[in-house]
Amino acid sequence: MQHTLKEVFSAQEIQERVKNLGKEISQIYKDEPLVLICVLKGAFLFFSDLVRAIDCPHEIDFVRLASYGSSDTSSHSIAFTKDIEINVEDKHVLIVEDIVDTGLTMEFLLKQLSVRKAKSVKIATLLSKKARREKAIPIDFVGFYIQDGFLVGYGLDYAEKYRYLPNICEVEL
């Protein structure tokens, strides 16, 4: 079944914003040791454009997380299905996420990475849905702030569909 999709951010808007985020990030880290961590699967396109927009040296790695239970905080649990492989000790870590919604996923990842003796752990997210936030996590780099609504494209999916779209659209559910 195909859904009705309404464009929210065009491919060109996204590309321009990601280039600017890359410049911002490069100025912060300069020649410090830096590891960029892509949160699979949703951030894969954002990540691949962002790393090419960052002109300071860095390593890359990937995590995949699964969440179980309802989105209700008390019964929600998150676990790695793929952990990072790089040692982040004494390096700056930048988590690259597609969208921060309730904040539960990023809260989990921040906690997990903070015990690995990184120099710092920051978050870059393409999209931030502030209205639904349950956890007040610090987000250091935000592509776009959005209202509620389910978005797809540029890596984001609805039941594994639409990740390949070059733009970001709202799905009419």
Q: What is the DSSP string of 60-98?
A: EEEEEEEEES-SSGGG-EEEEEE---S--TTSEEEEEEE
22 or 125: CB nearest ligand IMP: 125
Query: CA-CA distance, 34 to 58, in Å (whole number)?
Result: 5
Site for ligand IMP (CB under 6 A): which residue of 54, 156, 165, 169? 156
Give the shortest CB-101-to-ligand IMP separation in angstroms.
Answer: 3
CB atoms within 10 A of CB 23: 11
Site for ligand IMP (CB under 6 A): which residue of 14, 36, 58, 98? 98
Query: What's the angle, vertex CA 156, arms to CA 27 and CA 147, rounded to 5?
Result: 80
Binding window for ligand IMP (CB under 6 A); candidates: 5-13, 50-58, 101-109, 114-122: 101-109
Tokens at 53, concatenated: 């927009």
Site for ligand IMP (CB under 6 A): which residue of 14, 46, 95, 105? 105
101 among known catalytic residues: yes
Binding window for ligand IMP (CB under 6 A); candidates: 12-20, 102-110, 113-121, 160-168: 102-110
Q: Phi/psi zone of residue 18: left (φ > 0), alpha (ψ -120 to 50 degrees), beta? A: alpha
Q: Give Dmax over CA atoms of the chain in angstroms.
A: 48
How many chain residues interact with ligand IMP (CB under 6 A)? 13
Give, as ranges, the residues between 5 and 44 that touch ligand IMP (CB under 6 A). 42
Does 143 participate in binding ligand IMP (rule CB under 6 A)?
no
Tokens at 49, concatenated: 């454009």
Give the shortest CB-27-to-ligand IMP separation in angstroms.
Answer: 26
**From 31, 49, 83, 101, the catalytic residue:** 101
C-alpha pair distances (Å), 4 with each of 83, 161, 162: 35, 13, 12
Can you give the binding site for ligand IMP, defined by CB under 6 A?
Answer: 42, 97-105, 150-151, 156
List, by residue number, the catalytic residues.
101
